[in-house]
């Protein structure tokens, strides 16, 4: 009889600046060690299915049509920054079955037959499997940048619980990955931007030129180094907020997170801290109680514009 005993959760931050902006030698050793531990534990768990929750940074989803959530029955990585490009090993059958389950459960969900994803999805696969040759994946996008359609905390919890109910019916050993967060406020533009060309770029979907992609990379790299020097107008990282978020998830105390106001997330942790909700969705697909935690790691890395965390838990 399938059950939640076949399930693990990995909360995993990402940063496009990993491998681009240098961090201190000791910090790099600590990060490399933690990533290797995550990789080893994931491979020891040996999942037959991955449910991967991630955001987008105006590479696949744009304001012309921005769903709060979207499941991909097929997905391609655009290969931004240093992540691999190409097709993800998506499991279309499971993706469509999950979509039907959510619709039957009263959870209206978007479906993409040709999803495009960026480093918010690909980096986790790259670090854990050296690329996109992975066990079968069901990618689930969550809007974390475009107001007012950013999903609220309570709805994220409901989605995670419903995904968990679906996974209860499957025999596969399943790894649920939440890729995003924690505190950070990178220079992702919004529709309040004064430049009409920038507003158009984040509204209408099109392939950027090589020059445009390089300019974006250089701009984000410079922003990270400015933040590390204390010369940035961006919101600083908030390690206390990050640790509280990880504490609550580790204990399965979801109510502590859904009690937060949406405004407080941006005020305390930054505009892109909404990405942390991918962790809430993923962890809520496992039982809401303290679970064995075999890896917990956190570093504040301003050079990478990242409160960088790793949290691995599994059911017993």
Annotated catalytic residues are 119, 184
Q: Is 53 in contact with 179 (CB distance < 8 Å)?
A: yes
DSSP 56-81: -SSSS-BTTB--SEEEESSEEEE--T
Quote the tokens at residue 116: 């495009």
Element (H or E) spanning 139, and its range?
strand 137-142
Q: What are phi and psi of 130, to 5 degrees?
A: 70, 15
Place of tokens 């691995």: 312
CA dist., res. 73 & res. 95, Å (int): 5
Number of other CB atoms surrounding residue 194 within 10 Å: 7
Number of other CB atoms surrounding residue 155 within 10 Å: 15
Nearest alpha-carbon partner for 128 in 56, 60, 47: 47
Q: Is 176 in contact with 282 (CB distance < 8 Å)?
A: yes
């Amino acid at each position: 009889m399938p059950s939640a005993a076949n399930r693990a959760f990995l909360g995993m931050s990402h940063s496009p600046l990993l491998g681009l902006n240098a961090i201190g030698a000791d910090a790099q050793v600590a990060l490399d060690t933690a990533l290797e531990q995550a990789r080893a534990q994931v491979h020891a768990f040996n999942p037959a299915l991955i449910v991967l929750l991630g955001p987008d940074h105006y590479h696949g989803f744009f304001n012309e049509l921005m769903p709060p959530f979207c499941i991909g029955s097929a997905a391609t990585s655009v290969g931004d920054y240093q992540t691999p490009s190409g097709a993800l090993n998506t499991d279309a059958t499971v993706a469509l079955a999950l979509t039907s389950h959510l619709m039957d459960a009263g959870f209206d969900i978007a479906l993409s037959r040709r999803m495009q994803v960026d480093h918010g999805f690909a980096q986790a696969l790259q670090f854990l499997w050296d690329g996109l040759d992975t066990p079968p994946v069901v990618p689930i996008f969550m809007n974390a940048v475009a107001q007012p359609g950013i999903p609220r905390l309570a709805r994220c919890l409901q989605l995670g619980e419903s995904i968990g109910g679906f996974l209860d019916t499957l025999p596969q050993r399943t790894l649920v990955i939440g890729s995003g967060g924690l505190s950070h406020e990178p220079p992702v533009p919004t529709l309040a931007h004064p430049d009409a060309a920038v507003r158009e770029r984040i509204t209408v979907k099109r392939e950027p030129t090589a020059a445009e992609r390089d300019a974006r990379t250089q701009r984000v790299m410079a922003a990270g180094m400015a933040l590390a020097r204390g010369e940035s107008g961006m919101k600083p990282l908030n390690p206390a907020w990050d640790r509280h978020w990880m504490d609550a998830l580790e204990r399965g105390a979801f109510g502590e997170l859904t009690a937060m106001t949406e405004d407080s997330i941006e005020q305390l942790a930054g505009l892109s801290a909404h990405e942390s909700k991918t962790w809430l969705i993923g962890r809520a697909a496992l039982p809401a109680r303290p679970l064995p935690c075999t890896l917990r790691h956190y570093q504040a890395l301003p050079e990478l514009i990242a409160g960088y965390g790793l949290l691995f838990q599994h059911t017993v």
